[in-house]
Structure 1
Amino acid sequence: MSTAPDALPPIALVGAGRVAQALAIALARAGIAVAAVGSRREALGAGWPESCPQPCSPQAAADRAVLVLLTVPDDAIAPTARALRWRPDHQVVHCSGATEVAALAAAAEAGAATGGLHPLQIFSDPVQAAERLRGSTAAIEADGELARVLHRLAARLGLRPIVLPPGMRVRYHVAAGYAASFLLPVLAQAAGLWKTFGVDESDALAALLPLARGTLDAVEGRGLAGTVSGPIARGDAGVVAAHLAALEAIGAPEAAFYRGLARPQVALAQAAGRLDEAAAARLNDRIGP
C-alpha cells in the first residue's frame, strides 16, 4: 500500500512544558495524532487537546513513536538524549533555537537520525502560541529523510521553513532575540522617558504600542530601509542634537542608549536613498562615538 506524500511517522513529545503544549494543540488542529507524551507529570493540565494521551515515562513515549520531539529545556537536551534507549529507525529532534544538534549525539551513536526543529514564536502563553504558529517560521536542521519529514511537518502546521546550516543555531537565536525580547528594553526606555513628565507605564504603552505595530506593519510591506522615518531619515541633525541634549540632562546611560540605536538608523536611511554622504556624515558627527 502506498504512503501519502505528506504522511508523517508516529510522533511523541518528550517534555510537557509550554512548547510541548503549544505543539500538541497545533498538531491536533492539523489532524496529526500525538502517539505519546513523555513526562514526569502525572496528568496533563487544562489547555491540552483531549486527543492527547496522558503522560507516560519518557522511555515509553520514545518506544511508541518514530519521530521524537524533545521539548525539554536546553540544559536537559543532552542528558535526556543520553538517558533514553534509541532505535536505528528513530528520528530524534530537539525544538531549541540555541542548542546545537550535536547535543543529540547519544541518539546518533545508537543509529537514530537527529535534527532540530525550532518554531520561531513566543511560548509564554501556549494557547496563543499555537494560534500564532501558522504563518510563523520553523528553523530546520536535518539531512536526508529526516529533513523531508520535518519540512512535511512544518507544512502541515502552516510553518514557513528556513534551513539552518550546522553551527549557526546560536547566531540564529541571537537574531531572533533582537526581534523579540530585545524590543522590550526599547519600549521600557520610551515609557521611562514619558514617566519623567508624569505619564505612567500603562498610559505610555497604550500610546506607544500602536506606533510600534504600525512600524512593524510597514516593515512587512516595505522592508527595513523603506520604513525608516523620523529626524534621522530626514537628515535633521538639529533635532538629533536636541534629542541628545535632553537625554544627557537626564543621564549618560540614556544618551548612550540613543546613540547605539541612532547609528544603525543612519545606515538604513542611506540604504533607502534618503541621505547622501554629506548628510549622513553630519548626523554621525552629531551622534558621536
Structure 2
Amino acid sequence: MQHRPGIAFIGAGRLAQSLAPALAAAGWPVLAVGSRRNESALALAARLPDCQALPMAQAVATAELVFITTPDDAIAGTVAALPWRRGQMVLHCSGATALDALDAARAAGALVGGFHPLQIFSDPETARALLAGTSVAIEAEAGLQALLHRLAHDIGMKPFALPPGSRAAYHAAANLAASFLLSMLDEACQVWAAAGLPAEQALEALLPLSRGTLAAAQQRGLAGALSGPISRGDAAVVAGHLQALQAMGPAHAAFYRELSRRQLLLAAQAGRLSAAQQAALARLIDD
C-alpha cells in the first residue's frame, strides 16, 4: 500500500469541514486541526478519528501534508507566521490565489501547491456528499503532483492540472458557472414580479426550469440542450420579449440582448437555424 502522509488542516471553516472528513473516510490520516477559533478546531477534530485540535504551529509540526483552508486574504499572512520544514508539503485551496502566497513555506524547503475543488461549500454536509464526482484543479511542483492526483482519486474527485498563470481566468470561469447563475435567476425573478406575478412564487416556479436545463446540458452539451425561441428561429417571440422588457426598463432589455447574442451562437453551433433566420435574429437583437 502506498504511503499516505499525515495531514493537518489550518483553518476549520466550511471547506475543511467537508474535505477533512472525506479524507479521513478514505483512509488518509488527518492528525490535527488548527484554527484562530479554537472552538471550531475542536468541533472538527471531534468528528475525525485520532485527530487533535492544536495551536496552529503545533498542528503544522505534526503533519507531512498541510492544507491551508483559511479565507483567501489570510493565506499569505498565515503561512508567513508558521514554522515549516524541508520536505513538508503545503497546499492552499483557493481558486484565485497564486501559489506565491505560500512563498514562506517554499523558502523553508517545503513543496507547495494548490488544490481547489470545483464545488460550493455553503453547507459542509451537502458539499461533502457532492465531492465524489467533483473536479478539482491541481497546481503543484513536480514532486507533489502525483500525490495530489492520488489523493483526489481516493475521495472520488476528478483531478485536472491547472496551468501556471491561469488562475484568474480559471476562477472567473468557475464563478460564471456558479454564483453568476444566481444573478441570472435574480433577473428572471425581477421580470416575473414586474409582470404582475406573485414575487414569492418566482423562485419555486422557475427553479425546475433551471434544473431541467442543467440536466439537458449534462446529457447533450450546451448547444444540444438549447431551447426557446432563438433555438427555433422565432423572431416574432423574441421581438415580443424585447418590447415587454424595454417597457420595464432599458437595463432589462439590454441584459436580454446580451444573453441572446450568446444563445444565437449556440443555436448556430447546433445547426438548427438557416442563414436567413440567423441574420434576422441578429438584426433584431442588435437593433
TM-score interval w.r.t. the shorter chain? over 0.9
Task: Measure the CA separation in 2 of the matches of 1:248 and 1:59.
Answer: 59
Distance 1:124 1:48, change over 3 A: farther
Structure 2 matches for 1:232-271, cutoff 5 A? 232-271=230-269
- Residue of structure 2 equivalent to 1:224: 222
Q: Which has the higher helix share?
A: 2
Shift of 1:52: 6.2
Report the equivalent of 1:204: 202
1:97 alignment partner AA: G
SS of structure 2 residue aligned to 1:171: helix
Gaps of 5+ in 2: none
Please give the residue correspondences for 1:73-84 in structure 2 after superposition, counting only pairs within 5 Å. 73-84=71-82
Q: Counterparts of 1:131-280 in structure 2 under 5 Å?
A: 131-280=129-278
Match of 1:123 among 110, 113, 121: 121
* Offset of residue 140 of structure 1: 0.4
Q: 1:242, 1:87 → 2: CA distance?
A: 66
Range moving further from structure 2, 98-107 or 273-282: 273-282
With over 3 angstroms needed to count, the CA separation of the structure-2 counterparts of 1:52 and 1:183, relative to structure 1, is farther
Counterpart of 1:28, as a letter, is A
Distance 1:25 1:123 in 2: 14
Give 5+ residue unaligned stretches, structure 1.
none
RMSD of Structure 2 on Structure 1 (CA): 1.6
What's the TM-score once normalised by structure 2's chain length? 0.95
Partner of 2:20: 24
Asked if 2 retains the 8 angstrom alpha-carbon contact of 1:14 and 1:39, the reply is: yes
Corresponding residue to 1:9 among 5, 8, 12: 5
Deviations 1:204-242 (CA, angstroms, capped at 9, x unpaired): 212211111111011111001111111101111111111
Letter of the 2:21 counterpart: I
CA gap of 1:31–1:86, structure 2 versus 1, over 3 A, is: same
Q: How many residue pairs end up in the alignment?
A: 285
Structure 1 CA distance, aligned partners of 2:60 and 2:73?
19
Distance (Å, rounded) in 2 between the aligned partners of 1:68 and 1:122: 21
Aligned residues with identical type, % of pairs: 53
CA distance in 2, matches of 1:19, 1:286: 46
